[in-house]
Amino acid sequence: MIIFLRSLAFNLAFYLNTAMWLIAAIPTFFLPYRAIVWVAKTWGLSNLFLLRVIAGIRADFRGLEKLPPGGFVAAAKHQSAWDTFALLWMFRDPTFILKRELQWIPLFGWFTIKGRMIPVDRGAGSQALTAMNARAHAELARDRQIVIFPEGTRRPVGAEPKYKYGVAYLYEAGGVPCVPIALNSGLFWPRRTFLRYPGTVIVEVLDPIAPGLPRDEFFQRLRDTIEAATARLVAEAKSG
């Protein structure tokens, strides 16, 4: 019952907080794109604060010193909606790969356009990859960090991984390091439920993969690296 009540209180606070930031961000439409990126990062940090004080969920970010300077691709495990806001502050100037449909949402979607996020039309096949790589190349030229969830959608803890090959094309076309990121957020903010379980979410930045690997070799290495580290973080949380 306590978890239910704390979860309910957090969800109410989360949506109220999000609505407040959406309204407060309206003036950024008339400012450079970095203004809305700053707002998004601050919104993410405020959600982490609410999670800690209301739901008892803390966050432990490890290996941040491994993030390279300048532009790179960050490929993160995706278990929870938590990932979409909690990772923002880690990067100096992030741009996320996201579903095109998200940009149709009033205000929220418009802000993703203003922030130069990179939409993907999943129904466009190879044309979507070409468009994604072109946009990513332009943002990397600005020394931005491209954040992608290689599985494309949230996967439950322990589920068979389903990585999509688009991340390999992005790595090959970008010519920059790819930073794998493992996490165990799904233990505390599971998909398709409003319950929030107290504990500590662990995010671990892993050793960057240098550019230049063959596409297939990179893809296998990325998947194996993230999955092994994620399994370790899940086991650590369950044994703690």
Instruction: Give the integer Cα–Cα distance in Å for 223 and 206.
Output: 12
- CA gap 177, 165 in Å, rounded: 17
Lowest mean pLDDT among 41-55, 122-136, 192-206: 122-136
Reported confidence tier of residue 115, pLDDT bands at 50, 70, 90:
very high
Q: Is residue 80 predicted with pLDDT exceeding 80?
A: yes
Whether residue 125 has pLDDT greater than 80: no
Query: What pLDDT, on a 0 to 100 scale, did the predictor assign at position 192?
Result: 85
Q: Is the pLDDT of residue 162 over 90?
A: yes
State pTM to two decimals: 0.94
pLDDT grade, residue 48 (50/70/90)? very high
Query: Residue 67: which CATH number?
Result: 3.40.1130
pLDDT at 59 over 90: yes
Task: Return the ∠ at Cα 192 (arms to 188 and 103), rounded to 5°.
Answer: 105
Instruction: Supply the pLDDT for residue 26.
Output: 97
Average pLDDT over residues 73-96: 97
Give the pair of three-digit tokens for residue 34: 């970095």
Q: What is the pLDDT of residue 124?
A: 67
Which of the four pLDDT bands, split at 50, 70 and 90, describes residue 174?
A: confident
Structural domain of residue 26, as residue ranges? 2-239
pLDDT surpasses 80 at 173: yes
pLDDT at 188: 97
Look at residue 30 in the predicted model and tell me its pLDDT: 96
Overall domain count for the chain: 1
Average pLDDT, the chain: 95
Integer Cα distance of 85 and 1 in angstroms? 27
Phi-psi label, residue 65: left if phi above 0, alpha if psi -120 to 50, beta otherwise = alpha
Whether the predicted pLDDT of 126 surpasses 80: no
* Alpha helices in the chain, H assignment, sequence order: 2-24, 33-50, 82-86, 108-114, 126-140, 166-174, 215-239
